[in-house]
Amino acid sequence: MTALQAMQAEDTSLPAPEESKPSPHRGLTWALAFSVAVHLGLVTLRFAAPETYNRVFADTPLEVVLVNARSEDKPDDAQVLAQVRLAGGGQVPDVSLSSTPLPPALETEAGTDISEMQRKIEALKMQQMRLLTQLKDELAVLSRDNAGDKVDSPDRQAREERKQQLARQLARIEQRVVQTQGAARKRYISPATKEVVYALYYDKMRRTIEQQGTLNFPESGGEKLYGQLTMIITVDSKGLLLKTEVASSSRNPLLDERAIAIVRSSAPFGEFNKKMRQQADQIVVVTRFNFSRDDTLETRMLAPDPDKK
């Protein structure tokens, strides 16, 4: 064996060098680095430009606007995005876009305090008195006879016509004032009335009527009468019953008559206290009567009907 062959034999006996392999954590490292960079960028944007940050990440609701026309011209100041151009869109001043095709729902109120209506009535009375005073002052000025005017002068004739017109107006207003001042002050009690004194008075009145109706439950031919009806009850400051009116019948005339008799037999209900007398001469209560199957009478206050006032 020659020396060259011996060297070749030694080279084949040595192991071959291993090839370099990529690190298995290189992808994870790049992902973490990218995530850190993105978060650092967002944090920087958050503090450097907060308005831009809020605008980018704010929730944008989807609004749908229905139109019935289209145009080839784009609007000058569009307020919404659309699939087609609509000339004039966004150009109507003081007009807001509706987010629903349904009409606005009417607001409901649990009840109306009658004291607000009474305050308006008092304001109208004051306005009426001021008008009456103004008319009287004007009539007094016109009544001053100017010696320099001729009897048949146009100015004098105009003043006489104005005086007659004012006299007729004063007569009508004074008649209404007398009627208004002479009428009794009525207080309409409703579930929305907040004064405690009226609530206590009505509670006593209600318990008296219920007790009387339960003890004298309406009958006809030995059989009990059942049903519901609504009654308007007017009581004066001495607690005397002034008026009873069936606003909604039970469809049984005999039951309606027995309900009225029960209210009349329950009166008087007691005098008004000092605070009540200062505010009203009479109270008006709308009450629902329920003659139930357990042979008891239950009453419940209702809101007064404006047409009944």
pLDDT of residue 309: 47
For residue 284, tell me if it sits in a domain.
Answer: yes
For residue 44, tell me if it sits in a domain.
Answer: no
Higher pLDDT, 28 or 69: 28
Q: Are residues 275 and 229 in the same domain?
A: yes
Query: Which of 182, 199, 219 finishes a domain?
Result: 182
Q: Are residues 202 and 288 in the same domain?
A: yes
Residue 100: phi, psi to the nearest 5? -150, 140
Higher pLDDT, 127 or 60: 127
Q: Once rounded to an integer, what is the mean pLDDT over residues 299-309?
A: 68
Q: Are residues 161 and 196 in the same domain?
A: no
Report how many domains make up the chain: 2
Higher pLDDT, 231 or 91: 231
pLDDT of residue 237: 93
Q: Sign of torsion, CA 294 300 304 308? A: positive
Q: Are residues 174 and 192 in the same domain?
A: no
The answer on pLDDT for 119 being more than 90 is: no
Q: Once rounded to an integer, what is the mean pLDDT over residues 27-47?
A: 80
Q: Sign of torsion, CA 299 256 231 239? A: negative
Q: Are residues 210 and 280 in the same domain?
A: yes
pLDDT of residue 267: 93
Q: Are residues 168 and 193 in the same domain?
A: no
pLDDT of 271-282, one tens digit each?
999 989 888 899
pLDDT of residue 95: 47
Q: Are residues 240 and 289 in the same domain?
A: yes
For residue 19, tell me if it sits in a domain.
Answer: no
Query: Which of 127, 155, 182 finishes a domain?
Result: 182
Q: What is the C-alpha separation between 243 and 231, in angstroms, rounded?
A: 10
What is the span of the domain harbouring residue 165?
114-182
For residue 87, tell me if it sits in a domain.
Answer: no
The answer on pLDDT for 219 being more than 90 is: yes
- In 3D space, the residue among 203, 178, 198 whose CA is nearest the CA of residue 186 turns out to be 198
pLDDT of residue 259: 95
Q: Are residues 162 and 273 in the same domain?
A: no
Mapped onto helix, strand or coil, the DSSP state of residue 280 is: coil
Tokens 């010696």 belong to 147
Q: Are residues 254 and 276 in the same domain?
A: yes
pLDDT of residue 178: 58
Q: Are residues 302 and 193 in the same domain?
A: yes
Give one word for 222, left, alpha or beta, with left for phi > 0 and alpha for psi -120 to 50. left
Residue 79: phi, psi to the nearest 5? -105, -15
Query: Which of 182, 207, 238 finishes a domain?
Result: 182
pLDDT of residue 1: 52
CATH number at residue 225: 3.30.1150
The answer on pLDDT for 113 being more than 60 is: no
Higher pLDDT, 180 or 206: 206
For residue 5, tell me if it sits in a domain.
Answer: no
Q: Are residues 281 and 293 in the same domain?
A: yes
pTM: 0.44
Give one word for 251, left, alpha or beta, with left for phi > 0 and alpha for psi -120 to 50. left
pLDDT of 250-298, one tens digit each?
999 999 999 999 999 999 999 999 989 888 899 999 999 999 999 999 9
Q: Are residues 267 and 238 in the same domain?
A: yes
pLDDT of residue 58: 63
Percent of residues, the chain, with pLDDT higher than 90: 28
For residue 40, tell me if it sits in a domain.
Answer: no
pLDDT of residue 16: 52
Higher pLDDT, 80 or 264: 264
Quote the mean pLDDT of the chain.
75
The answer on pLDDT for 26 being more than 80 is: no
Cα 14 to its chain centre, rounded Å, is 99
For residue 49, tell me if it sits in a domain.
Answer: no
pLDDT of residue 166: 74
For residue 133, tell me if it sits in a domain.
Answer: yes
pLDDT of residue 217: 95
pLDDT of residue 242: 93
